[in-house]
Amino acid sequence: MTPPLHLLLLLLLLFSAPRPSTAQLPTATHLHFFLHEIFSVGDPGATAVSAAGGNDPSAFGFVGVYDDVLREGPEVDSAPIGRAQGFNAEVSSLAGHVEFLTIFSLVFTSGELNGSSLAVAGRSVVEGAATSERSIVGGTGIFQSAKGYVVSRPLTAPATRLLLEFDAYILHH
């Protein structure tokens, strides 16, 4: 007995459909590094400055621009691996809440990541031991078509220096 034509066509479609190759599957990468920021008015070594809203980063409406150093470790003399370049705006009008909208690029300048970058956007809480999670919305170099998220934790936050620990979880092609 001959199988029905529609069954033969279905089998033909199933066996001729393209199969995903390993080249199409995303690569998962985890990065761990530290952001070192110097916020100081008039300091030629500053890596962050006020663009609007005065010099108090905790004031609603404050806008800051930064070009911070990314390092392998928390020590000031640990090896630099790149820069965090972007801006933030203080968006909480509630007293005692310091919450920023941040948009920045993680630009890598050494090792196998040299020339690659990640675009990051989202909300950041910079008070106490709070962690902030932000979206990775794109990338360049080995991080083309990147998506994922970063988690940052403040380790120190005195008036003029900020040290953040970062973990980045990235899917890319």
Which phi and psi angles does 28 have, rounded to 5°? -100, 130
pTM of the model: 0.80
Question: Is the pLDDT at 146 greater than 90, yes or no?
Answer: yes
What topology is assigned to 26-172 in CATH?
AOC barrel-like (2.40.480)
Which is more confident, 22 or 51? 51
Compute the distance between CA of residue 146 and CA of residue 28 in angstroms, rounded to an integer.
10
**Distances in whole angstroms, Cα of residue 133 to Cα of each of 76, 101, 107:** 24, 12, 19
Q: Tens digit of pLDDT for each residue in 54-69?
A: 777 777 888 889 999 9
Compute the distance between CA of residue 49 and CA of residue 55 in angstroms, rounded to an integer.
8
Q: What percent of the chain has pLDDT over 70?
A: 78
Q: Is 64 helix (H, G, I), strand (E, B) or coil?
A: strand
Beta bridge partners of 83: 69, 107
Domain boundaries, the chain: 26-172
Q: Name the pLDDT band for 18 (thresholds 50, 70, 90).
A: low
Which is more confident, 120 or 160? 120
